Structure 1
Amino acid sequence: MRERREGEDDKVAFPELFFDLVFVFSLIQLSHTLAGHYSLMGALEALLMILAVWWVWIFTTWVTNWLDPDRMPVRAMLFALMFGALLLSTAINDAFGDKALLFAISYVAMQVGRSLFTVYAMHGHSPDNARDFLRITCWLILSGVFWIAGALIGGEAQLFIWIAALTIEYVSPAVGFRVPGLGRSEFDDWDVLGAHMAERCALFVLICLGETILVTGRTLAEMEVTPLVFVLAVSSFGSTVTMWWIYFRFGQERAAAQIESDESPGEVARTIFTYAHIPVVAGIILCAVADEFVLAHPHGAIDLKTASAIIGGPIVFLAGNVWIKSSVAPGLSVSHLAGIGLLVLAAPLAFVVEPHVLLIISFIILVIVAVWEYLTLKSVR
């Protein structure tokens, strides 16, 4: 099986786009689960689900960074992963209940199966990459023991065992997937197609933003049209558009260019795409939950869950963008940090304003961030 090459092969292929479709359902399940079980424990469980779904997706993206999805065996692998992701997604709502084992088995089968396939696909023409994925497989098998054990044990212990499983997986890239007898991976030697990785992650962010539009549209369709509902529709949709602008206008292309020109592209790609996109994705999902809360109950006193979603979603989103942009350009994004500060200052308003007012305020702050960054970077060009 041939690998991707620079140039024409670094574009996202149709099988990859088809693979992404199942994650639309995953994100819908995640936002519904978080909205329906919005508490400290529910948020922790939802965060674990988000991290697991992201890890499945980003690991597959790394694989298709090297393997050509237009080759039939790679396509078959992607289709098998799609079915696994479909099963995984159906289990999200009850992953800490009756469907724990379905979630765990689907997840482990996808992670370990994909890595073993990659070892097989690369062993003949790229032994170094095959050895890297053999190391990765060892780590995934280790974490898989915890996933299955947590599902079988259940109860209060399940969450902590699954946290241990995710910790193993998230720590593994940071230590180079070191395995006794196999050594560790050197990310300086990883050949990364920066344009491909950047486009893949950008498409996932688009899926997340699209999910917020679905939530807004579905909720509005069940409501009577009034001036307030129209204003809320503008605020919700406007927030989605503004988040698109903040992420795509100055961040995504710079990330691709930085990886293409960096002497250690694997190291930069690991930071930007494997880790730094997590708060971006989580923040967008939280914003979708906030829209659902406010559109359903725009009046009255603001409870803690609504306030935390309205303020917390944009904060987490902006923090992720700070991480990405500071990784590809010197210094931190002042506009983003100012936006986080304004959102923190706006938090006490939850005690004196109604939910729809706080949502409008958060939207205005996002617009301020977008305009500030645009004018600043335009002036230095």
Structure 2
Amino acid sequence: MRARDTHEPHRVATPLELLFDLCFVVAVAQAAVGLHHGLAENHIGEGVLSFLMVFFAIWWAWMNFTWFASAFDTDDGPYRLTTLVQIAGSLVVAAGVSRAFEGEFDVVVGGYVVMRLAMVAQWLRAARSDVDCRPTSLRYAAGIVVAQAGWVLWLFVPDGLQLPAFVVLMLVEVATPVWAERAHGTNYHRHHIAERYGLFTIIVLGETILSSTNAFREAIAEGHVADLVSLAVAALVIVFSLWWLYFDQPGHLRLTTLRASLTWGYGHYVIFASLAALGAGIEVAVDYDTHTAHIGGVPTALATTIPVALFLLSVWLLHVGPSNECRPIAIGFPVAAVLVLACTFSPAPIHFAAAVCALLVLTVVLATRGHPVEEH
């Protein structure tokens, strides 16, 4: 298991990586379902907190494998089998999401530990094979083992201390790559990483469309066609706009240093989570318009406008940059995020938010006309 060339030409996602993403999005979908039910039933605090905690487990396991694979993907039998074990763990997590939203995290933790211990096996194999990266690989393995022992013990922590303990263990997890990479940087491939993140963004967007479509289908079956046509169009405009805005700027241009790469990689937690939450928010809007939700108009609107605003701010910080030389774009993203939040208090929040997103896309197109992004 030798480190791969960081400048390897034509490096693309493998079929195994695509299967990995597809199975992980099952867990993402279950997390979105739990958030939808929590919001619709007016259990907002518990629903949002459970969603953020479960989504951390999904995102962190996905992200760690993605960066490891970029550096050490050998695509041989042991590598494939270990990756399939991780996929199985993700499906266990998906199966336990509904229990997690009821306060029982045992199944989610079990699936998460399976995924992470399989990752330990990958790092130990890399440590044995690649002398240069051995200190880094051993640090990764040690950090993951310590964190997993902590997660198992976390299940026995009293309820009142579970959230602080979760934050501590989360910090241990996110600090491990920072500590490990200081020994010897891994050979991740910038274009490959950007493609992997882009593909997962598309898959999460697809899950958002699927969940929203199912909500509209059920409402239409109950005879609410006229009330939902404009809402469906507005939701689709938002999804299409977010796709456009994310892929307008090549992500690999931001992966220039270790610090920038960590910031970019970690920051995608907000991008992925906001997209998954958007699907739940649209479902809540359908419930509200069909008089089946148990929350008011403002919380219903916030369930959509907050995820959209967070997505815009995250893409602005990670892909565009506040100091972008194209000032209409540099200023347009945060202004659009503020306007989207302001739409919460308008007569038709999702419709107005869709208009803001579409106008931002138009601004980006006009501002960059004749000025293609330079590739490196």
TM-score band w.r.t. shorter chain = 0.7 to 0.9
Q: Which residue does the alignment assign to 1:270?
A: 262
CA distance in 1, matches of 2:104, 2:48: 18
Q: Which residue does the alignment assign to 1:44?
A: 49
- 1:326 deviation in Å? 4.1
* Number of corresponding residues: 358
Q: Which residue does the alignment assign to 1:239?
A: 238
| Residue 354 of structure 2 corresponds to residue 363 of structure 1 | yes
Secondary structure of 2:4's partner? coil
Residue among 183, 193, 208 paired with 1:212: 208
CA distance in 2, matches of 1:333, 1:171: 30
User: What is the identity, as a one-letter code, of the residue corresponding to 2:167?
Assistant: I
CA distance in 2, matches of 1:340, 1:127: 47
CA distance in 1, matches of 2:260, 2:36: 34
Q: Which residue does the alignment assign to 1:348?
A: 345
Aligned-CA RMSD value: 2.4
User: What is the identity, as a one-letter code, of the residue corresponding to 1:322?
Assistant: W
Residue among 306, 313, 331 paired with 2:307: 313
Identity %: 21
CA distance in 2, matches of 1:3, 1:128: 9
* Contact 1:220/1:233, CA 8 A, preserved across alignment: yes
* Contact 1:30/1:46, CA 8 A, preserved across alignment: yes
Structural mapping, 1:150-169, within 5 Å: 150-153=154-157, 155-169=159-173
- 1:128 deviation in Å? 3.0
* Contact 2:288/2:300, CA 8 A, preserved across alignment: no
Using structure 1 for the length normalisation, give the TM-score. 0.86
Q: Which residue does the alignment assign to 1:63?
A: 68
Q: Which residue does the alignment assign to 2:331?
A: 334
Using structure 2 for the length normalisation, give the TM-score. 0.87
* Contact 1:101/1:152, CA 8 A, preserved across alignment: no
Q: Quick one: structure 1 residues 82 and 91, their matched pair in 2 at CA, closer, same or farther if it must change by over 3 Å?
A: same
Residue among 150, 164, 174 paired with 1:170: 174
CA distance in 2, matches of 1:220, 1:299: 10
Q: Quick one: structure 1 residues 235 and 344, their matched pair in 2 at CA, closer, same or farther if it must change by over 3 Å?
A: closer
CA distance in 2, matches of 1:97, 1:207: 27
Secondary structure of 2:188's partner? coil
- 1:4 deviation in Å? 3.2
CA distance in 2, matches of 1:26, 1:122: 30
CA distance in 2, matches of 1:198, 1:370: 21
CA distance in 2, matches of 1:33, 1:110: 22
Structural mapping, 1:1-381, within 5 Å: 1-5=1-5, 6-8=7-9, 10-38=11-39, 39-68=44-73, 70-95=75-100, 99-124=104-129, 126-153=130-157, 155-174=159-178, 176-177=179-180, 184-186=182-184, 189-222=185-218, 223=220, 224=223, 226-248=225-247, 250-251=248-249, 253=250, 255-259=251-255, 262=256, 264=257, 266-272=258-264, 274-298=265-289, 302-326=296-320, 330=324, 333-349=330-346, 353=347, 357-378=348-369, 380-381=371-372
Q: Which runs of 5+ in 2 are unaligned?
A: none
User: What is the identity, as a one-letter code, of the residue corresponding to 1:334?
Assistant: I
* Contact 2:120/2:145, CA 8 A, preserved across alignment: no
